[in-house]
Homo-oligomer: A and B are copies of this chain.
Amino acid sequence: MQKEHNLSKNQKIIFDLIDKSGGPMKAYSILFSVQKKGIKAPLQVYRALDKLVEIGKIHKIESRNAFIACQNSSCQISKATAFSICESCENVSEISNSKLSKYLSNFSDNSGMKYSKYNLEFFGLCKKCKSK
């Protein structure tokens, strides 16, 4: 079970927005959407995003500079993330595959590195875009 975090006002506004959007959102698009709720400055958005990433409620899609709500709410995998990204329609979804996460979490090589976190992004074409 994931630890329950009491989100602050700004954190809640921003998390709800991202969560309801169902897909990745960019920081300045978030900013635009929450201005009517009194969040006026980029920093207010980035601070909430940082915190939400830290506690695992959202993840950053690094290749897109965008943020998506965690789609595995019941498990704590914010340090082991995998995404599937359609290069045509930009649809993103979080991959939840226990064999994959086990394989990557246990990965080690002879470099002497101690790995504590990973992020994997797969790119390709989704079902819809393939058949166009």
For residue A123, which residues in chain B have a CB less than 8 angstroms away from its CB?
A: 115-119
Chain B residue contacts of A117, Cβ below 8 A? 87, 122-124
Across-interface contacts of A124 in B (CB, < 8 A): 113-117
User: Quick check: is A19 within 8 A (CB to CB) of the other chain?
Assistant: no
Contact partners of A109 in chain B: CB under 8 A: 84, 95, 97
Partner of A84, one of B87, B115, B127: B115
Given contacts A63-B62, A118-B121, A122-B118, contact A127 B103 (CB under 8 A): no
Query: Closest CB-CB distance, A100 to chain B, in whole Å?
Result: 7
Chain B residues whose C-beta falls within 8 Å of the C-beta of A38 in the assembled complex: none
Chain B residues with CB under 8 Å of A86's CB are 113
Residue contact A122 to B115, C-beta cutoff 8 Å:
yes
Number of interface residues of A (CB under 8 A): 31
Does A75 touch B at the CB level, under 8 Å? no
Q: Which of A104-132 contact B (CB under 8 A)?
A: 104, 107, 109, 111-127, 130
The 3 closest A-B pairs by CB, nearest first: A112-B127, A62-B62, A115-B124
Known: A62-B62, A114-B124, A114-B125. 8 other contacts (CB 8 A): A84-B115, A95-B109, A97-B109, A104-B120, A113-B124, A116-B124, A118-B122, A120-B120
